[in-house]
Structure 1
């Protein structure tokens, strides 16, 4: 698959590499697993002197040997034998005082499992040598909670050491359209929506569909729910390391949210788990869920709902985890039947998400959300607000445009209209047909 998007990130990494020829740089790259961090780094530094090193969870002596071998192979520098990664890193920093190169530590957080003292030892080496070294040090990691703690916690030794931070996100919607055009020029809106539903713009998932040549709705669902599919165990593989031994409660809560139980009370009733503490961690430590209130609600309002940020995890918890008993006995036809039976409803909800993301990506609005009233009535799918220009878009989203009722939408929006007198209000009817090509 060709390299898509990432122009800004590539340009930024190359600019940092140029700066590092005079001043040592430490760049931290974070992003969920499969988002394309490694591919981006290799693309940005193609043709440059780069030592790429994956930090596996193995003995420190073995890691030292591997890194020494890589230094010799790439730079022709023979460092000798080491059993301490900190001492090896000190030798590497000495080399950087007489020549420039890029060093990448991938899955950097794994050093915690190799030698817990490495981060403090690395800090001492870095602080002692950075003023004379000409090194472009790039560290990246997928475990959001651990990477955040390492570099954002004031108690941690590497706090404040990063000179640049890059958070790699999913492909924008324009890139998903481009990928579809390249692989299925005659695609339908439903094909595009199915790709968005499964991948959410995560590069590795798009690549998996590309390898399977799955770029129609039918082929995408078949690819995800076929025997030996990459996607079947993906949710568990992604999150088990993050949650550790307590993953069962987290999985139950995420399953509840994916199933439409979005309020704390509903989640507790569904799971039997007191969800408050878990939800706070899912939002603030793991960055997996988001909390949202209806437009115009105060910050103190208890009218709060939760959603899963990631499209694939929404799908995985809604169908694969929920019907895991069928998955475990190999009855994927049963799961596929459940997906198809619920497809219209679930994809309709994903379509709402598509259009909210569409309005966010225009850059014209400072608030993009939805609306409902305390009793659950007058739900509105899309609210896009430009407070500076006193403009608001109020939208209804349906798969079928004939089911959109703009008069009914105007009635639902009366409370908003009353509180925003004098504003320019636009009503939007949004359906599959409006996804663009």
Structure 2
């Protein structure tokens, strides 16, 4: 896979490596997000030992690890009986040479021996601290990495000197990969999301429908079963979790709606929702003016664009896709795609709002998010409590230019947002895929900012 972006993550690892002390880093995140490529890029041209664990018996895993340590230090392979001896052997070698030691897919080792974190604790406390080498544990299984490596009850808790939670690319970063114009890039991002492997599977010399057909709707394609495979690596019985994700992807976003769509009672449902949030598969949102801990107006969203696409269009239509994928593409996906992309466009506009704030094109705001109350919704609301200033924005992914009706509608809804004082400063923004009707820009005062795709393109360069 070609390496893209990750400049901030690389710089953090480089800074840690150049420190005069030992370093123990934890790198984790969902599958396919690019952790291995990041570590390979970091290790390139630096002395390093890279060990990729596999789903094998413990004895064979340990043998391979020791063989790799011996090969790196040009030593004969010693006879090793346990992991404690394996790490003692590694410690003897690190005493003579500064080295980056990467253990990738660490959860596979823990699956075979759940005492391994204790052995690494002893290695860090008794040996690594006395060197200027660097140990990196990397893993994709959130359900293993968080409790076994990062959790309070882990033997390794408090030992790490840093951690990287590697996230999917934002739309702005994904533009380096997506070789379409802006409108088609947004459509494509609404399908692949920001996971690097998904992005790089598409051939951008082909149209988006062709890529969907070839890389998602083909039963032989990697992405056809990817979400199910992802869930099975984290969960023993994923069926109910899949039904929840499908319900949310198809528009059931409140706990009551999810319960009604899945038949799961509210008690068990809360635990399932909590697990899906912990695995970064669902996000919980509340109105930006509300307290996340106290608000009862929560909504759930599928946390990844590809998963949202797959659970909306692929999972409910698997039987038809097996028989006639082109009919599903033409009759179900293409007609429903504009509505699906509209949600992604809102997220892209949130990115653009933050960038406009950084570039001083909009006033400074401390918090930006969605707002709703009853039947009223506003796509983006920004809050600056220090200066009693509030931002209201709407995002329209429509084929017609935005006109005066949206201006009046946004003004009316803004009056119903209870936040700040009666004399608060108000700022308004409109984002439009198809531009604006003639004369609208001239008729609005300086409190309004209008962004067409052309302005968005300039902002997100």
State the TM-score, normalized to the length of structure 2.
0.86
Q: What are the residue-to-residue correspondences of 1:22-421 with 2, within 5 Å?
A: 22-180=20-178, 183-184=179-180, 187=181, 189-209=182-202, 212-214=203-205, 216-227=207-218, 228-245=220-237, 247-274=238-265, 275-283=269-277, 285-298=278-291, 299-327=293-321, 329-336=322-329, 337-360=331-354, 364-374=364-374, 377-400=375-398, 402-403=401-402, 405-416=406-417, 419-421=420-422
Q: CA deviation at 1:415?
A: 1.6
1:13 is aligned to 13
Evaluate the alpha carbon distance shift between residue 138 and residue 418 of structure 1 in structure 2; reply closer, same or farther with a 3 A threshold: closer
Q: CA deviation at 1:214?
A: 5.0
Q: What are the residue-to-residue correspondences of 1:416-431 with 2, within 5 Å?
A: 416=417, 419-431=420-432
Name the SS of the counterpart of 1:382 in structure 2.
Answer: strand
* Higher alpha-carbon deviation: 1-10 or 107-116: 1-10
Q: CA deviation at 1:81?
A: 2.8
1:317-346 deviations in Å (ceiling 9; x for gaps): 11111222324x343224323111211211
Q: Take 2:287 and 2:15, find their aligned partners in 1: how far apart are those partners?
A: 41
Evaluate the alpha carbon distance shift between residue 276 and residue 334 of structure 1 in structure 2; reply closer, same or farther with a 3 A threshold: farther
Gaps in structure 1 of 5+ consecutive residues: none
* Higher alpha-carbon deviation: 395-404 or 48-57: 395-404
Q: CA deviation at 1:271?
A: 0.4
1:191-239 deviations in Å (ceiling 9; x for gaps): 1112211232211111111xx3456433433343342222111111112
Q: CA deviation at 1:305?
A: 0.9
State the TM-score, normalized to the length of structure 1.
0.90
Q: CA deviation at 1:281?
A: 2.0
Evaluate the alpha carbon distance shift between residue 170 and residue 365 of structure 1 in structure 2; reply closer, same or farther with a 3 A threshold: farther
Q: Take 2:64 and 2:157, find their aligned partners in 1: how far apart are those partners?
A: 27
The answer as to whether partners of 1:50 and 1:101 remain within 8 angstroms in 2 is yes
Q: Take 1:420 and 1:192, find their aligned partners in 2: how far apart are those partners?
A: 40
* Higher alpha-carbon deviation: 97-106 or 220-229: 220-229
The answer as to whether partners of 1:50 and 1:103 remain within 8 angstroms in 2 is yes
